[in-house]
Amino acid sequence: MRQEILAPQEGSEKFARKSKRELFLDRMEQVVPWEELLALVESHDLPAGSSQPSVGLPILLRIYFVQQWFNLSDPGVEEALYESPVLRSFVGVDLGVAPAPNEAAIRHFHQLLEERDLGGEILVRVNTSLAEQGIRITIGKNADATIHEESSSTDYAAGEHEQPGDGDKKAAETGAHIGAPGAEMIRSRTKAKGTDIADPLFPGTGDLYIAVISPDAQRRSAALRALEECHAGKIQEFLSYPSDLENAPRTLNRDFDIVLVDLDTNPKLALDLVETISVRGLAIAMVYSAQADSDLLLRTMRVGAREFLTLPFYPGAMADALVRASALHSVTRPQEKADGRLLVFLGAKGGSGVTTLACNFAVSLAQDSGQKTLLIDLNLPLGDAAINLGIKPRYSTVNALQNSSRLDASFLSTMLIRHSSGLSVLAAPSELTTAQFSDEAVDKLLKVACEEFDYVVVDAGSRLDLQHSHLFEESATIYLVTQIGIPDLRNSNRLISLLSTAGSPKLSIVINRYDPRSLEIDEGHITKALTRPADWKIPNNYVAVRRMQNTATSLMEDDSEISRAIRQMTRAVSGQPAIPEKKKGFSFFR
């Protein structure tokens, strides 16, 4: 089915050995029913990808699995194919004959699978085949898949458990739930040292503090018994899911090392809980289910679950999971990182200089604060941040928004390009795009960005269509950029009224291209139009700005009035003292 791409190099690499990834792919070549899967796909007469009609289904099918196993986005797997001879060999790409499938062809294939409901069926067939061979796959710390050869499963008898519903009834009678401190229905268990299992068999797992969350008594008991067979540390039961995820951290922040969540009672709520646990760094999240559902497995991995265990538990499966979790667990738990500050530049009208200010503000903030700073160009479809900064990004904001369902910190990092100042940039696309994106996609991007960076600067252009997104939430700061002109001041007045209601973001008014010597509208009328004095005034320096745009040289590289004004803004954000104003020397010539 696949072509052998890599030519033998006998004698040329004396000490060569196969990597773990290559060994994994060799094993998958043997155990995955490729011919059966290809026949299934071909039976649905999938049309060829519009961008690369020559790409064959066998290649696209293998790429589909490579993405699942190694958590690669569409653009990420395209890049990986050019970087890795091992991946090219596995999927059947020969760069001497044809290029690797591009991002558009890969995405088109995914869309076709979704339209025909084939994705789930393909993964279920593979999981069924692997289960019959005693094989299961988990995703490790570095997002690479790992093979686990299992012995035959053992049944768990209903008679060995509490009767279904006992725990549920008890929880209902007490009104217990995780969201109510002091009222949650929990049970603590501590297994005595030196009982059934000697600790050295499972190094590092004895001190783990584990929470088990399941409203179903039978499934909860199965998990507890599997844990007690291999774990001598503290275990705490929760007999219900949280009623309010915002309060969940208060209860789960008890130095738990692992939280094991039952997926089956309420999959959506369970997945939301796993995401909360993972995003806030409360513990290592593990899940278990009686359903060997591939789509559910993928969803759990995407929200941050480290292990997906199935009922009945295979002998040793829980122990293996705890050993892996112990390797991830650090003795000193890192403190929960506060979300980064969201700083949005919005123009009262087009041509206000929003992009120039946003770019130089972001560069100055990255330099002066020394903290992780990201610039996102949301001024679609014609954002110019990349041109102003002199960078040539491979990926863009559009790539991130098109893959919002799988967007996380790791995925986002593959989309970014680094500026010489240390600033990270997610640029607008270099080509005109007509793609439309939901507020939910924008919110997901901002959420992930703020979790990863200390400062997130957004060039929003004049996009008032985003007013229902997180850009306009109370936690954000909006820099409203205007100029001194009747249209600008009129629009600014309207926007200030819109952004001055309860629950609106903090508003900072910036007058750009300010020149007090050529004001045609006096200061009193300007203040009246803006309903308050401007917070910042950026001097007019046409020559410096034009030079920046033509040479891609940041304004912050020179010590000028305009660079000092921008630096005063960023120092206020990062809590640094203001720059003392330079004293003007005496001169007869003004």
Measure CA 337 to chain center. 15
Find all residues with CB under 8 Å of 126, minimum gap 6, and list them: 32, 33, 37, 65, 294
> Token pair of 303, please?
């929200």
Q: Please check whether residues 310 and 446 belong to one and the same domain.
A: no
Identify the H or E element spanning 212.
strand 210-213
What is the predicted pLDDT for the residue at 405?
A: 81
Q: Please check whether residues 170 and 75 belong to one and the same domain.
A: no
Q: Please check whether residues 107 and 177 belong to one and the same domain.
A: no
CATH code: domain of residue 186: 3.40.50.2300
Q: Please check whether residues 137 and 191 belong to one and the same domain.
A: no
* Crossing angle of helices 57-70 and 20-31, rounded to 10°: 130
Q: Cα(282)–Cα(255) distance, rounded to whole angstroms?
A: 8
Q: Cα(239)–Cα(258) distance, rounded to whole angstroms?
A: 16
What is the predicted pLDDT for the residue at 200?
A: 34
Q: Please check whether residues 345 and 437 belong to one and the same domain.
A: yes
Residue 188 lies in a domain: yes
Residue 323 lies in a domain: yes
Q: Cα(47)–Cα(53) distance, rounded to whole angstroms?
A: 9
Residue 1 lies in a domain: no
CATH code: domain of residue 425: 3.40.50.300
In contact, 383 and 391? CB cutoff 8 Å: no
Residue 587 lies in a domain: no
What is the predicted pLDDT for the residue at 228?
A: 82
Identify the H or E element spanning 129.
helix 118-132
- Alpha helices (runs of H) in 229-293, residue ranges in sequence order: 248-252, 267-279
Q: Taken in order 547, 553, 558, 560, is the CA torsion positive or negative?
A: positive
In contact, 139 and 301? CB cutoff 8 Å: yes
> Token pair of 453, please?
């960076």
Using the structure block, give the residue that is written with the tokens 């590289």.
557
Low-confidence ranges of the chain (pLDDT < 70): 1-16, 45-55, 120, 136-207, 232, 243-255, 328-337, 582-590
Q: Each residue of 114-170: pLDDT tens digit? A: 777 777 678 777 777 777 777 766 554 444 566 656 543 333 333 333 333 333 333
| CA atoms within 13 A of residue 545's CA, in its CB half-sphere | 18
Q: Please check whether residues 376 and 492 belong to one and the same domain.
A: yes
- Alpha helices (runs of H) in 533-590, residue ranges in sequence order: 542-551, 561-574
Q: Taken in order 525, 531, 532, 534, is the CA torsion positive or negative?
A: negative
Q: Give 146's strand partners.
A: 138
332, 356, 583: which is closest to 483 by C-alpha?
Answer: 356
Q: Please check whether residues 483 and 453 belong to one and the same domain.
A: yes
Q: Cα(106)–Cα(80) distance, rounded to whole angstroms?
A: 13
| CA atoms within 13 A of residue 25's CA, in its CB half-sphere | 23
Residue 352 lies in a domain: yes
Using the structure block, give the residue that is written with the tokens 């950029």.
481
Q: Fill in the amino acid letter for 462.
A: S
End position of a domain, from candidates 149, 176, 200: 149
Q: Please check whether residues 394 and 494 belong to one and the same domain.
A: yes
Residue 335 lies in a domain: no
Residue 494 lies in a domain: yes
In contact, 302 and 405? CB cutoff 8 Å: yes
What is the predicted pLDDT for the residue at 146?
A: 61
Identify the H or E element spanning 106.
helix 103-115
- Give percent helix, percent strand, percent coil of the chain, each to the nearest 5: 45, 15, 45
CB atoms within 10 A of CB 516: 10
End position of a domain, from candidates 328, 354, 369: 328
| Long-range CB pairs of 246-251, under 8 A, 24+ apart, other chains included | 247/178, 247/179, 247/180, 247/181, 248/178, 248/179, 248/273, 248/276, 248/277, 249/276, 249/280, 249/282, 250/181, 251/178, 251/179, 251/181, 251/184
H/E/C letters for each residue in 56-102?
CHHHHHHHHHHHHHHCCCHHHHHHHHHHCHHHHHHHCCCCCCCCCCC
Which residue range(s) make up the domain with 143? 20-149
Q: Taken in order 432, 366, 349, 404, is the CA torsion positive or negative?
A: positive
Q: Please check whether residues 543 and 465 belong to one and the same domain.
A: yes
What is the predicted pLDDT for the residue at 544?
A: 81
What is the predicted pLDDT for the residue at 234?
A: 81
Q: Please check whether residues 301 and 357 belong to one and the same domain.
A: no
In contact, 233 and 266? CB cutoff 8 Å: no
End-to-end C-alpha distance for the chain, whole angstroms: 81
- Alpha helices (runs of H) in 473-541, residue ranges in sequence order: 486-498, 523-530
Q: Please check whether residues 544 and 398 belong to one and the same domain.
A: yes
Domain tally for the chain? 3
Q: Each residue of 293-347: pLDDT tens digit? A: 778 888 888 888 888 898 888 777 888 888 877 776 543 344 555 788 999 999 9
> Token pair of 162, please?
């509490």
CB atoms within 10 A of CB 498: 13
| Peptide bond preceding 267 in cis form (omega within 30 of 0) | no
Q: Cα(129)–Cα(147) distance, rounded to whole angstroms?
A: 14
Find all residues with CB under 8 Å of 183, minimum gap 6, and list them: 174, 175, 176, 177
What is the predicted pLDDT for the residue at 145?
A: 62
306, 263, 257: which is closest to 286 by C-alpha?
Answer: 306
Residue 564 lies in a domain: yes
CB atoms within 10 A of CB 444: 20
Q: Please check whether residues 391 and 364 belong to one and the same domain.
A: yes
